[in-house]
């Protein structure tokens, strides 16, 4: 499959590398930011452009890995030349129907993982959620995803958007809890290292069990004395106290 | 060191096994619940009692691994016969001074990990936080902990109590976020398996980096459009919506 990759940020870079390593031909990289476009194109042994009207019309698949806000505008811009091509975006938050009216064949190709610049992403353990308007395109995307990972899911727009909400809870929000803990420890001159094994074990425990069956701690036990004491300690962190109250309330319920 | 283990719950069982395996002599197990006491004593090749006044006075160290609410009462009860012995509890939430007035020599021996019945705990990767009123006892507890894990920290009562709060954030609260995500997915007929790699990667990322530097997602980007959409999707889950608002607010700040 000949692919044009639109976007050279975290997602574009990691996905581009994975596709390239799996033997797919990236015919071109687009990014408005020249250094990014150039760097990724070099990595993938291909050409690049920073101008929308220079995007190649010789690919089978256009993968849009840019900020959600930019997808609709891009679709409108590209539709005059490429409206018969298959176009997908990699976003959890945007419906694939963002392409409707501009393209005949569209879908989503959503790798569900957190991607950071400079940290390798193992696509072989990562789920990819795909969907497309036309069944034949969905089959094609499914097969493409299967060349990257065994974990491919057919997920509707609506499901993917709820999946993205759930991903925000387990990724961004858990990470914020880690940050709160790190901040509390710093104020006590304690090393964040002390908590790292606990963080890892908490994530490992739910790999083979339901989270609700793994819950422990003062809120799960309904231990009001400890909860009251914790809230008192948190008085110097009013924002963290609020988080404590809201989540403890949810656990205790 | 000859040890009496008071309590045969999760902590007592896992800690007892680890001490036993490290070659320490558990001279007796106490639990009010006979089947628990019996089971753990058998596992550790020792005797047990269910009566406080029958607790042996022939040990060097008394480890109290019971519910926080019970520690003060227990201390009062044991002090007439054992007031010259070293006594510690394993709780993050209770000050070691709970023993003051009842015992001369007291401290804390707090393994910082989540323990579940039926799941092995690897003490060799687990931090133990110790403290004692008398420096010689602190040294003894430090050495004892070192026979279980290389990660031993001298932590004051005040520090340990804040550490416990932080542990609640990364363990109980993260687990609740996993539960919320699982619940959202279930309502969409999606398999919780889809999120498991993301949960694990989120925990792995902060093993070698600061959580605040690892933050991504709509709140970190200040992407109000996506946040508004997510809040709309969460209207059928008012409690989860509240959690979303509070934590997103904290990230965005």
DSSP chain B: -EEEEE--SHHHHHHHHHHHHTT-EEEEEE-SSHHHHHHHHHHHT-EEES-GGGS-S--SEEEE-S-HHHHHHHHHHHHHHHTTSEEEE--SSS-GGGGBTTBSEEEEEEE-S---TTS---GGGS-EEEEESSHHHHHHHHHHHHTT-S-EEE--HHHHHHHHHHHIIIIIIHHHHHHHHHHHHHHTT--GGGGHHHHHHHHHHTTSS-HHHH--SHHHHT-HHHHHHHHHHGGG-HHHHHHHHHHHHHHH-
The mean of the pLDDT values for chain A is 95
Q: For each of chain B's 253 residues, which pLDDT tens digit applies?
A: 899 999 999 999 999 999 999 999 999 999 999 999 999 999 999 999 999 999 999 999 999 999 998 999 999 999 999 999 999 999 999 999 999 999 999 999 999 988 777 778 889 999 999 999 999 999 999 999 999 999 999 999 999 999 999 999 999 999 999 999 999 999 999 999 999 999 999 999 999 999 999 998 999 989 998 999 999 999 999 999 999 999 999 999 8
For residue A138, pLDDT over 80 is answered with: yes
Which residues, 6+ apart, have CB-to-CB distance to B104 below 8 Å? B83, B84, B133
Residue B118: predicted pLDDT: 74
204-243 in B: which are within 8 Å (CB) of A? 204-207, 210-212, 214-221, 223, 225-226, 229-230, 233-234, 239-240, 242-243
Residue B253: predicted pLDDT: 81
For residue A127, pLDDT over 90 is answered with: yes
A83-120 pLDDT per residue, tens: 999 999 999 999 999 999 999 999 999 999 887 777 78
**A243/B162 touch (CB, cutoff 8 Å), yes or no:** no
**A198/B171 touch (CB, cutoff 8 Å), yes or no:** yes
CA distance B177 to chain A (A): 6
Q: Which of B6, B2, B59 is nearest to B36 (CA)?
A: B6
For residue A151, pLDDT over 80 is answered with: yes
Q: Which of A115, A229, A247 is nearest to A180 (CA)?
A: A247
Q: Which of A67, A142, A60 is nearest to A105 (CA)?
A: A60
A136 and B CB contact within 8 Å: no
Q: Looking at beta carbons, which residues of chain B come within 8 Å of A130?
A: none
For residue A34, pLDDT over 90 is answered with: yes
**B242/A242 touch (CB, cutoff 8 Å), yes or no:** no
Q: Which of A59, A60, A37, A58 is nearest to A49 (CA)?
A: A37
Residue A27: predicted pLDDT: 98
A189-215 pLDDT per residue, tens: 999 999 999 999 999 999 999 999 999
Q: What's the average model confidence in pLDDT over A133-147?
A: 98
For residue A173, pLDDT over 80 is answered with: yes
pTM of the complete model: 0.91
Model ipTM value: 0.92
B65-80 b/e (C-beta count within 10 Å ≥ 16 → b)? bbebebbeebbeebbe
């Amino acid at each position: 499959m000949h692919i044009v990759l639109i976007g050279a940020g975290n997602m574009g870079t990691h996905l581009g590398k994975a596709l390239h390593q799996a033997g797919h031909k990236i015919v071109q990289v687009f990014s408005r930011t020249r250094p990014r476009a150039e760097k990724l194109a070099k990595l993938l042994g291909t050409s690049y452009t920073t101008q929308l009207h220079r995007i190649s019309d010789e690919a089978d698949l256009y993968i849009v890995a840019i900020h959600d806000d930019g997808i609709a505008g891009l679709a409108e811009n590209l539709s005059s030349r490429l409206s018969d091509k298959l176009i997908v975006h990699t976003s959890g938050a945007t419906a694939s129907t963002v392409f409707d009216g501009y393209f005949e064949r569209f879908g989503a190709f959503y790798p569900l993982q957190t991607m950071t610049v400079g940290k390798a992403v193992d696509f072989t353990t990562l789920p990819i959620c795909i969907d497309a308007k036309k069944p034949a395109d969905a089959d094609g995307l499914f097969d493409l995803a299967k060349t990257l990972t065994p974990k491919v899911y057919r997920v509707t727009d609506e499901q993917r958007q709820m999946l993205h909400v759930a991903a925000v809870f387990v990724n961004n929000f858990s990470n914020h809890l880690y940050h709160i803990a790190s901040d509390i420890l710093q104020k006590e001159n304690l090393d964040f290292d002390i908590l790292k094994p606990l963080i890892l074990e908490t994530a490992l425990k739910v790999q083979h069990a339901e989270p609700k069956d793994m819950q422990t701690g003062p809120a799960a036990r309904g231990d009001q004395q400890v909860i009251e004491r914790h809230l008192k300690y948190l008085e110097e962190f009013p924002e963290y106290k609020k988080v404590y109250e809201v989540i403890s309330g949810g656990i205790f319920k």
